[in-house]
């Protein structure tokens, strides 16, 4: 299959824009940013326009969590993104052995729920950790989904507090990025 430009824009840590731009957002951990950047790279290779909310540990947004989340959403709006994809790492401070990946979406947005399910399916095929499923973003009141006018999705790739998850994430960043991007691509191409 040859390369082609898609009409969607994605914002990562940012979002997807009109014509299709995706904004891809992410949280950073030393040594992990490549996983997040690789998702955007893979989407660009597939012909999607990608805008990043950030590409390094350096940020110019507010340090206040609420203001930071609002700034991420504003980035997607300003980019006129078609979709907003946030990629994060989870953590548990309870010592409860929490591990695995999960994807959040608005269940009332059938397109984004389908995209979340496609990403989940791709990650599950890697069989690297617990599949915690697709979850209702409204149950957690996730700002980047619930207060975002752009169709959005949040992927928690695994737990930095779980040694197995973080070891896999650090040593298989390309596989994880490819799986997330492929789920997004599969969903968009099925439309």
Rounded to two decimals, what is the model's pTM? 0.85
**From CA 48, how far away is CA 132, in angstroms rounded?**
28
Residue 91 has, within 13 A of its CA and on its CB side, a CA count of 7
- The pLDDT tens digits of the residues spanning 127-168 come to 999 999 999 999 999 988 999 999 999 999 998 888 999 889
DSSP state of 17: P
Total residues found in the chain within this entry:
191
Q: Which CATH superfamily is domain 9-90+99-190 in?
A: Zn-dependent exopeptidases (3.40.630.40)
Q: Give the C-alpha distances (Å, rounded to integers) separating 104 from 52, 88, 191.
A: 19, 11, 20
Query: Where are the chain's structural domains?
Result: 9-90+99-190
DSSP state of 16: P
- The pLDDT tens digits of the residues spanning 74-104 come to 888 898 889 999 888 888 888 899 999 999 9
């Amino acid at each position: 299959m040859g390369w082609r430009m898609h009409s969607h824009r994605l914002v990562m840590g940012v979002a997807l824009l009109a014509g299709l731009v995706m904004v891809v957002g992410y949280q950073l951990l030393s040594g992990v940013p490549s996983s997040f950047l690789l998702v955007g790279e893979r989407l660009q290779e597939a012909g999607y326009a990608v805008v990043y909310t950030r590409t390094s540990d350096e940020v110019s947004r507010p340090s206040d969590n609420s203001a930071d989340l609002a700034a991420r959403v504003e980035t997607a709006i300003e980019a006129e993104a078609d979709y907003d994809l946030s990629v994060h790492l989870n953590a548990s401070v309870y010592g409860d052995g929490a591990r695995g990946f999960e994807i959040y979406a608005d269940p009332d947005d059938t397109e984004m729920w389908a995209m979340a399910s496609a990403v989940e399916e791709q990650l599950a095929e890697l069989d690297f950790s617990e599949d915690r499923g697709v979850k209702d973003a409204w149950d957690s009141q996730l700002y980047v989904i619930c207060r975002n006018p752009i169709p959005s999705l949040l992927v928690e790739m695994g737990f930095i507090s779980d040694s197995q998850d973080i070891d896999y994430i650090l040593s298989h960043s390309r596989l994880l990025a490819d799986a997330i991007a492929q789920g997004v691509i599969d969903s968009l191409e099925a439309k």
